[in-house]
Amino acid sequence: MTAAADGAHSSTPRRFPADAIEQFCRDVLAAAGADKATVDAATRAMMHGSRLGIDSHGVRLLDHYVRVLTEGRVNPNPNLRFLRKGGATTTLDADDAHGALAAFFAMEEAVRMAESFGIGAVAIRNSSHFGPAGAYALAAAERGMIGMAMCNSDSFVRLHDGAMRFHGTNPIACAVPVSGERPWLLDMATSAIPYNRIQLYKSLGRKLPAGTASRGDGEDTEEPGEAEMLAPLGGEFGYKGAGLAGLAEIFSAVLSGMRLSFEIAPMFGPDYSTPRGLGAFVMAIRPDAFGEDTGFEDGMRRYLATLRGSPARAGGKVMAPGDREWAEADRRAAEGIPLDPDTLEAFRRLAEGYGVGLPGNGDA
């Protein structure tokens, strides 16, 4: 499950209506030259992150996305095409598109195949950073399918007991439809925390959680400014997180023939003009493809009811994957989305540079 809502803990958060932030993102991306499909997909992915409290993968990425779109790394008008079709699998050549466009486009095809064959899987080639993996898994769940999404990224995570960057944060997400409820939603980096959270904590002036990041020698640090690599998920049992990162690497990069994490150019430059060649993978499964008498809907209801009703230890609360995020989404729908100081400053620069009005009547 993703970590708790990052921005919700700022001492004096500046909150803005979600609709105003979404329109600002759309206006800026369009002004930067992105085509409508890219504007729609990138904004949809960022807003998924910001609405559900995954601020490390929310609208704080807008400034970065504008830079890669305008400097040549990401194609603002891509020609996405399937290299082969047949049965329940295919490969998408994303033409160096924004990663969100590639992932949503691929998941739409995976759902279409699952409608016919019960399952659909798409390997994605020539993609880029796609933000919150849960957004694409959720796109399948909203169509009544089990959705899975994963990607690899530039190496920033050491191996268990390692002292070099090896894997990317290599996220894995799965969303499962639940009748009458919001989907069960697992969205996790295979690192202890995602790299963007280091940037967020630096902006907020907060220390990192213990055991989540390391200096260049592999020794732990809680100072965002000292972090040179991330730890794999699992703490003392980090070999499990490293293994999961390897699974995402195989499905995303090896299966699609793309660059491995340690071959990918860094997300944050210095070169923003050369495409990075990321791979990704999405899959959709139609639950009734395994038989309408399996009782899938009833099984999910029983599973979640028992899980949420199970005893909690003192001071704790038992939650299913997604419960924390859906609760934060409700809170932010009512109170607005918090923006950290660095993101506010980036919004001001973008507004001035592109002649776009700031969200919140220009008082950001």
Q: What is the pLDDT tens value at each position of the chain, 364 positions in all?
A: 343 344 434 446 689 999 999 999 999 999 999 999 999 999 999 999 999 999 989 999 999 999 999 999 999 999 999 998 779 999 999 999 999 999 999 999 999 999 999 999 999 999 999 999 999 999 999 999 999 999 999 999 999 999 999 999 999 999 999 999 999 999 999 999 877 788 878 888 899 999 999 998 888 999 999 999 999 999 889 999 999 999 999 999 999 999 999 999 999 999 999 999 999 999 999 999 998 788 999 999 999 999 999 999 999 999 999 999 999 999 999 999 999 888 999 999 999 999 999 997 545 5
Q: What type of residue is 324? A: R
Examine residue 232 and state whether it is found in any structural domain, yes or no.
Answer: yes
| Number of domains the chain contains | 1
Residue tagged 């969200």 (tokens): 359
Give the CATH number of the domain where residue 230 resides. Answer: 3.30.1370.60
pLDDT value at residue 195: 79
Q: What's the rounded Cα separation, in Å, for the pair 45 and 159?
A: 29
pLDDT value at residue 218: 87
74, 41 Cβ separation under 8 angstroms: no
Examine residue 347 and state whether it is found in any structural domain, yes or no.
Answer: no
Q: For residue 101, give both structure tokens.
A: 């466009």
Q: What's the rounded Cα separation, in Å, for the pair 154 and 165?
A: 9
Examine residue 147 and state whether it is found in any structural domain, yes or no.
Answer: yes
224 strand-pairing partners: none
Residues sharing a CB contact under 8 Å with residue 51, sequence separation 6 or more, in sequence order:
18, 58, 329, 332, 333, 337
Q: What's the rounded Cα separation, in Å, for the pair 280 and 129?
A: 10
pLDDT value at residue 7: 41
Examine residue 26 and state whether it is found in any structural domain, yes or no.
Answer: no
Examine residue 230 and state whether it is found in any structural domain, yes or no.
Answer: yes
pLDDT value at residue 364: 57
DSSP-derived secondary structure letter, 190 = S
Is the bond preceding residue 270 a cis peptide, omega within 30 degrees?
Answer: yes
Examine residue 221 and state whether it is found in any structural domain, yes or no.
Answer: yes
Q: What's the rounded Cα separation, in Å, for the pair 150 and 326?
A: 21
Q: What's the rounded Cα separation, in Å, for the pair 315 and 205?
A: 27
Residues sharing a CB contact under 8 Å with residue 68, sequence separation 6 or more, in sequence order:
74, 128, 129, 272
52, 329 Cβ separation under 8 angstroms: yes
Examine residue 142 and state whether it is found in any structural domain, yes or no.
Answer: yes
Distance set, CA 249 to CA 42, 157, 183, 232, 279 (Å): 23, 12, 26, 14, 9
**pTM score, whole prediction:** 0.92
229 strand-pairing partners: 214
Q: For residue 31, give both structure tokens.
A: 């002004």
- Secondary-structure percent of the chain, ordered helix, strand, coil, rounded to 5: 45, 20, 40
Q: What string of DSSP letters covers 51-76?
A: HTT-GGGTGGGHHHHHHHHHHTSS-S
Examine residue 131 and state whether it is found in any structural domain, yes or no.
Answer: yes
Residue 113 belongs to domain spanning: 78-321
